Structure formats: structure tokens, C-alpha cells
Chain A
Amino acid sequence: MVLLFAMGPLQAQTGKYTISGYVKDEGSGEVLINATVTMQPGGVAVITNSYGYYSVTLPGGKYTMLITYSGYKTIQKEIELKGNTTTDITLAAGGKDMQEVVITGERKLRRTNTVGMGIQQLSAAQIKKIPAFMGEPDVVKALLTLPGVTTVGEGSSGFNVRGGNVDENLIIMDEAPVYNSSHLLGFFSVFNPDAVKNVTMYKSAFPAEYGGRTSSVLDIRMKEGNNQKYHVNGGIGNVFSRLAVEGPIQKDKSSFVVAARRSYIDVLAKPFLKAEDRNSTMYFYDITAKLNYELNEKNTIYLSGYFGQDVFGFGDQVKFKWGNTTGTFRWNHLFNRKLFLNTSIYYSKYNYSLAFKSDDDVQQGYDWTSDIQTYGVKPSLTWFASNKHTIKTGVNAIYYNFYPGKGEASSEGAKSQIILDRRYGAETAAFLEDTWKLNPQWQIQAGVRLNRYAYLGNTTVYHFRDTTPNVRKPLDYAEKVTSKKAVNDWVFFEPRLSLRYELKKNTFFKVGYSRTTQYLHLLSNTASPTPVDLYFPSTNNIKPSLTDQYSVGFVTLPTGLPVEISVETFYKKMDDLLDYIDNANLNLNQVVEADLLTGKGKSYGVEVEVKKETGKWQGWVNYTLSRSLRQTPGISNNDWYLSRFDRTHVVNSCVMYNRSEKWQFSANFTFGSGTPSTFPDSKLDIQGLPIPYNSTNKRNDFRLPAYHRLDVSAIMQGHQGKKMKQEWVFGIYNVYAHKNAYSIYFQQNQDEPEKKEAIRLSIIGSLIPSVTWNFKF
């Protein structure tokens, strides 16, 4: 607010005019997010918003507009500003249709053109260039090549950002939250790269418009679809096939895109399975669709949706399904050249069901279902107040409906069931943020977010008595709250601040601070989250978690070197993180809150990255040195211990070689400290069972061996016909077949029970070759 008043006169001064419009892809009509528009003389530069819109206000006169966007040819446009002007700009992709990002001749500024730190963007084209598991480009796998983003191992769900838990990432697809980002447990993510336009990840200094998670924001924008002509593209690979159709509904006005995938790993695996396992089904599919319609110059509406499901079956005996459903309606409205309104209304659901049936002479069955549903509305207003100030403000209301589950068992005609009470939560927020170009050296992005979270009634509210930490809390009393009024509520004031100072040309020093809070938690006490883990709200027994993050860094484009060098350091302080008592019962447990503990955490580190994104040879190397620690009363002697996702040293490097228009090669190497683990130092023999025991009680005091892996891929442009264009992607994942440890566990030898063994489990135990054929017509 202070900033608003400090801004002085906001009216356009006499003789000043606004030029505004959309920056779009020439071929498809898709708007381009974060394209840079620079006006010369004067050097005023602005970036298009999430809807491709820009607005600059300047004194009248002649200008040269320079529009740049990564992977596109930079264009120059001479204009004479005599009055307010609307100019839509179209950019041509830098290469042939099927070809990936090529040299634009223009230096791409990423870390340098944003005020905030910890922001990384990937376009669909970039994601497709990184060697991928099974040859399938994947959003989450691509993110893992960025500094500060890790997982606990192959096949594990989700990802960890700067020492935060998997559930602390706000993953939004066209504004709708996605609760489980993984297919086939963790081997693939749910985002179909054929339908993804742009991926932005915020690891710190979060813009004020985002809230509700403490670790990161992954903002995924779907493609709008080509509004010029019809296209069909797809691919056939080892694991799944893809097909996408896009085209205009009304040329220049409206378009659609529908993209679908279906895996067939189960079909391929069949010959290798036991006869009785051959009845098993295991696949996933997803459909992503989007429609947009430009009502008139000032109004555009979008409708987008996602539906995906993983299915696992085993004859008639086991049927297990899980998946996300999201839907978003958006309305862009231009009040005037400087005032841009976007209103999003969204819905998201994650559900799973699990059914068992006996296949022998005793008729028995078991069914289990659970879900989480979210409804949200978010109007936000961008005001290009002046060339110095861009103000973003809005509100966000979210309603949560948690269904912890229903279980139903039957046996020989008898039936019984348990239905857990639904839980409800409401989150309301208002935000205001000003991006202020103080002078040529200083830029400030200052914002506040005011959050209120209420745990709502119409459920049973449990009250527990205090006890020794790490012991199940005894139930004091339960009360049935019939109305939907707030049982508990919290109000949080979240300041967000980023400062950027240009030390010298193309060398920037940055500082950031953000506070974030979180009101829902994934209940999971296994090595990696499972698809049947529950999301549970903050309640009268579980406080919302809160994180403060401080970061400092610099980025430079050294003269004479075509690289970007950046260094970022961060320190995160986390409060009220969830943990579990030993032997916690997280399944169909009405009083699950009795088994939860809260503790605190901290993480800190430095991320160094050198990147080259132009020329025949491109690539990056990044190194992260960081720690992630937890302290929970009752665990690890109440001392600080390493979190399961602490990876002290991580190196990612990627090299891409654009040999010719026909061939492109890339290689990706990753190294990371092994994840912390707890090993036994002794053994109890109880009733003939050798029970591993850790007499120090310290958690995660050891580490698995370091993780490293090399992947390579080659992309060959096949026949580029007038109608159909083809592309082949060859890849080898884990080239030197390193058996990376996912876990080490301890067992007795079954044949020689007196012998005890340490066993290393590697999820990927060999190299994995892949071939994918892509087509487009």
C-alpha cells in the first residue's frame, strides 16, 4: 500500500501514449508468455504476462521495437507513437516446424530479465531436448536437471525443491492445482508435453499471487491450439503413444487442442510375467484439452481440462485406480490498454479406489475409495500503471473437500463398512504486488499476500490430550459440529520482496525474501509417496506450516562469453512440519491426527549454474551444495537430523549439439549425494526373528552410495514432406548401466536363516534404450 501511495502521480503525463497488444506465435497464433519487448531509444523493456499481453507507455515519437523470445527469431519494428496504439506482434519460430530451439542470434535473458530469484522457465521445446527416460520428454524429469530440484530416487513420486517435502510444491495446470503429478508411480509425470506451452518454476521470492504451499510453485500453462490451421501430431514410443489434434474453430478467433496418451507397458511386459500375472493390467491414460475464443478485442475466454487415470488390475482379484481431474474456465478482459483482468474459476479432484475380490471358494471382497476436491476462483488485475510500475492485485478463494475414505468388506454374504467423516477447509487470500523500476539500476518487486484459512465444521472434531512425543495422543473427546462454520482459523500476513541491482551492464545482484504458509498435508511415511496417500487439512490439531525463505544471488552475462553465470544462496526456516509417530496408522483412521507430530526444519545451500543457450553447442552445468534438516520432538533424540531428501552435493550437466538440420545430439549427466538412511548397529533375536535395531536412535545418520547416471539421445529429422513431417528420437538412459541404490534394507537369508544380509535395491538396474517416432501433419 505504502508503495502505491509513494508512486506519485499515476496518470499518463501529457504527451505520453500507450502501446499495447499481444505477442503471438506466427504459425499457431499461440500467445507467447514472457516475451521481451524493448523500446529504443530509452531502452524501456517489458515482459508479456501469462496471457502474452504487454503494455508500455512512452512520450510520443519514433521508436524501434525489439521483440525477443527464446527459440524465436527476434524482430524489429519501427513505430511512430502519436496516440494510444494496439499492436499485436507475431514471431516466427527460429527453425523448421519440428525442430527444437535454435539460435536466435539474440541473447536470451532469463535470470537477468526477472526481478525475483529462483525462477526458471522451460518451454515445451526445451523439455523435448533433454534426454528422457524411455524417450518420452517429461516436465518433471526436465525440472530435475535444474539446480535445487531433486527426488529421492527413480520411480519415486513427485519432487523436492530446496529441501522441502513433495507436498510443498504448488503444481498448477492452467491455475487448477494438481495433487498427484505422477503416472506409473513416479516414472512419468501427468503433463502431456504435446499440450504444454510453458513451464515456470519459482523456488523462492514467490510472486504474491501464489500461496498455499511453502516450497515451490510450478506453473504449467497449456497450449491454446493453433488458430491458423489444423495439425495432428503424435508419437509412438516404448512405453506409450501420444496423439494431439489442434486447429482453428474460427480462424484468428478461436482454436482448440486435444491431446491424449495411453501407455502399453503392460502389453509389452506380458510375455515376461507369470501365467496368472498375464491377466494383470497396468496402464495409464490422460486427455488434455483446451478451447479458447476471442469474443472481441477486449475479451477472450478459455476452457481447459485434464483427465488422467492409472489403472492397475490383476485378473478379477485386484482393481486399483487413481487419477486427477481438473477443469479451468478463464476470462481475460482488457478494461483499457493498461488494465488487464484475468478471472479463473477452477476445479480439481484427485481420487483413488482399490478393490479386492477373492478368486477361490471363499467369497470375499474389499473396496476402498478416497478423494480430495478443490474449487477455486481467482480474479487478478494487472495494471501497467507506468513504465516504472506494474501492479498486480487480486483475490483468491479456495474451498477444499477432503474425503479420507470409505472401506467396505464382505465375506460369504456378510458385509460391513466404515465411512470416515469428510473434512472441509476454506482458504481466502488477497494480494497486491508492485514491480517498480526505481531507476536504471534498481528494480523492486514488493508484494503482500493476506491469507485466511479456516478449518470448517460439518464433521467430527477431535480433541486430544497431550502426551509424550512420539506416543499416540489419547482422545479426550470428540464433538460433532453440524454447521459449516469455522472450527479454527488462522490469518497470515505474507510479505514477498525481491530487489535487483545492476552492478554493471548485464551483471545483477539480487536479494529476496518470502513467507509462505500451507494448510494441507500429504500423509505419507514411506520412502516415497504412494498413490493412496491421503491429503489432510490443517485442523484444530495440525497447525498450518510456515516457511520463511531468504535468498541472495547474482547473475552475469560476461562480455565476450556467450554464457550466463549465476549464483544463488538460500536459507529456509520451516515451522510446523508434519511427522509421524512410530507405527502411525494413516489408513482409514478416523483419529489419524493422534498419530501426527509437528516439528521444524531448515535448509540452506548455494546453487551455481553456467549456461550456454546459443550456438551449435548448448548446455549447462549446475552444482548445488545444500542441506535439509528436521527437528521433531520424540524423533532422533530430539536432535536435528537430515531429512530423507537431503542431497548435499548435486551436479547436473547437459550438452546439446545441433549438428545439422537433420541431427541433434544431447547428453545429460547427473551426480548426487546418496539419500540419508538409517542403518542398524545391533540386532534383537525375538522368537527367532532377527530385528534390526539402531541403539543410537539417530535417524538418517548414514547415506546411500552416491547417485550418478549418464543419458544420451539423438534426434533425427526424418522425411519432411509437404504434408507430413517425421522425427525419430533415439535414446539410452543410464548409459553405463549404473545400479543406483534406491534403498538398502536388511534381511535374513531365507535358506540360511542365521545369515543376515544388507540388500541394495536398484530400481533401474541396467541401461534402457528407447526409440520414439514422432509425426506431424
Chain B
Amino acid sequence: MRNKAIKYISVVLLGASLTACERVIDLDLPDGSGFPYVDAWITDQPRVQTIKLLKATEYMSQTAPEAIGDAQITVTDVTAGKSYPFTFQNGAYNYDATSTPIGVVGHTYKLNINWNGEQFEATDELKRSSIIDSLTSEFKKADGEDKEGYYVKLYAHDPTGGIDFTWIRTYRNGELNYHVGEMLSADGAFGNGDDNLSDGFAFIPPFRDGVTSGEKPYEKGDVVEVLFRSMSKPSYDFMQQVQAQLTNDGLFGKVLTNVPANVVNQQSTSKTKIYGWFGTVAEVSASKKVE
């Protein structure tokens, strides 16, 4: 909450000083690419589930990361005692869960990777989702830096009891809307969720308004989809750090810090590491055709 507020202030203050400027610069960055990482998020949805084992690229690189195809990957539902083997195909490891979803709320999952003769493991728990009530849209005229267009609002609320962490993603016509960032909520508010202050409350205004960018509001005919992904506390912490690294701007930016990994090499003496994150999420979504 407070970081957002501070950001708000620094934006207005810098705006008011009229002289602050941000400029894209050429910068020679060192090359530390090549280390392996996973992008492994399993959902409760009936569709093909995908896990990627990739080699990190240079930061500025525009080419797709190289996939590592010689690993064996399995996801195990520890609670139900079921295993789901993933097979490598077209640069990713897949499991066809179209008929029966892998993810079940309340279950614990383990990711097993067998690569180069070494075993790697990660676990996560699949949590319940928060509730999307509705999406509304409204036409607004240009106002300062806010351009003319359709503004979509998200109404949602937190289920009572416990602390519910949500990762909110916004899609425009099926594509991730990069003009609005990823949003993370703990019980419908900002923060680390340690205080349980907003249990059962409606999602706060920054989320309500956060699915539209004033820079590029929606147009008539656009289909706006808002996706809620539930998260465990460790996955939420991870995503918070991801978000901090993606929005490290302004007067009060944080120092670049590496995001953590939850994949653990089972050979404790081995130096081989796999970076990245294994997360399990329940998804709910709502869409709205702007008209």
C-alpha cells in the first residue's frame, strides 16, 4: 500500500517539476546467459499443461530462449498420490489434461526433473481463488494524459477467512495487455498479506481501475479478459519480487535483486542449479466485450 502511495507521489512530484525525463539509452550489458531455468505453472483448468526448461538469454536478446529437451519431467499430486508425466514436444514439456485437470484446490504438488543424471524437486500448494464479481466498461473523453477510449473496471472480492493471494492478468483480444502491468493482491489489497487487514473486503480501487491503461484505453469491439490466479504465500512472494524487478523505476526504485528459485537439487553436493519457479494456481476469469 505504502509503496504504491509513494510511487504515486513521486510520479506527481516529478510531473510537477516538469523537468524529469526518462530516456531509452544504449547500454552494453555483460553476458551471463546460458544457465537453465524452469517456467512451470500448473493450473486447475482442463487443457494442455506446459512446463518449459530453458536456457537464460542475454537481457536485451529478442530471440526465444533455447529449450532443453533431454530431461524427464513429472508432476505429482502428493495429496492424491497421482503422477503426471510430461513429454517434450515443440520446445516444451506437455501433459494433456483436457479431460481431467491436474490441479485440485487444497492439493500439494511436486515437480520432479531428472536432468544430466541429477534429480531436482520443487513443491507448491494449490490455493482457492478470489471472486470476480463483474467487469464494466465506460467511455471517457481524453483527460490530461489519459486518452479517450473505453475504461474497464474490475469488481472483485476476497473470500472470507485465511489470506488469499491473487495474481491478476489482463488480456486484450487474447493477448496479454502489456500496457497494464501484472497486479498482485493479498486479500484484495496491496502488501505482504501478513496483517490480514482486509479479509473478506472488496478489491481496492487500484485493482478496480488497474485493468485499463490511460495510455492505451480499450476500443469498441475489444474483448477484455481478466484472469485471477490463486497463489500460495511462497509463490506470491516470488511474484512480488518479479513485479519489483519489472517496475524498478522512479525515485524509490529498489536495487536489482535476483528473484528466488524453488527448484532444489537433490544431490546436496552438486553445484548444478536450475533457476525459476514451480507454481500451482487455480484460475477464474471474466471477459467483457467493449461496446
Contacts and interface: CB of A to CB of B under 8 A. Distances in A.
A411 B201 contact: yes
Nearest to B195: A418
A317 B9 CA distance: 13
A356 B241 contact: no
A577 to B, nearest CB: 15
Nearest to A767: B19
Interface string B127-151: 0000000000000000111100000
A605 B99 CA distance: 69
Contact of A747 (B21, B249, B252): B249
Interface of B: 1-3, 5-6, 8-10, 12-27, 29-35, 37, 39, 41, 54, 56-62, 65, 143-146, 153, 155, 176, 178-179, 182, 188-189, 191-192, 194-202, 204-205, 208, 215-216, 237, 240-242, 244-260, 275-277
B233 to A, nearest CB: 11
Contacts of B12: 273, 277, 280, 282, 312, 314
Contacts of B188: 411
Interface string A262-280: 0001101100111111001
Contact of A362 (B26, B208, B252, B260): B208
A757 interface: yes
Given A409-B197, A759-B25, A691 B204 contact: no
A533 to B, nearest CB: 9
13 contacts: A185-B9, A272-B15, A274-B146, A275-B144, A362-B155, A416-B196, A681-B58, A684-B56, A689-B182, A690-B59, A692-B59, A694-B258, A761-B22
Contacts of A754: 62
A681 B199 contact: no
B30 A354 contact: no
B251 A742 contact: yes
B146 A691 contact: no
A744 B25 CA distance: 9
A273 B15 contact: yes
Nearest to B31: A681
Nearest to A525: B254
B29 A745 contact: no
Contact of B5 (A268, A354, A582): A354
A407 B195 CA distance: 9
A618 interface: no
Contacts of A277: 12, 15, 144
Interface stretch (A31-39, A372-380, A695-703): A695-703
Size class of the contact patch on chain A: 35 or more
Contact of B16 (A269, A588, A680, A750): A269
Contacts of A700: 255
A318 B201 contact: no
Contact of A585 (B23, B194, B252, B276): B194
B16 A682 contact: no
Nearest to B18: A272
A587 B242 contact: no
Given A409-B197, A681-B33, A762 B23 contact: yes
A650 to B, nearest CB: 22
A582 B178 CA distance: 26
Contacts of A583: 237, 240-241, 244, 257, 260
Contact of A528 (B31, B41, B252): B252
Nearest to B240: A583
B199 A416 contact: yes
A409 B215 CA distance: 30
A690 B32 CA distance: 15
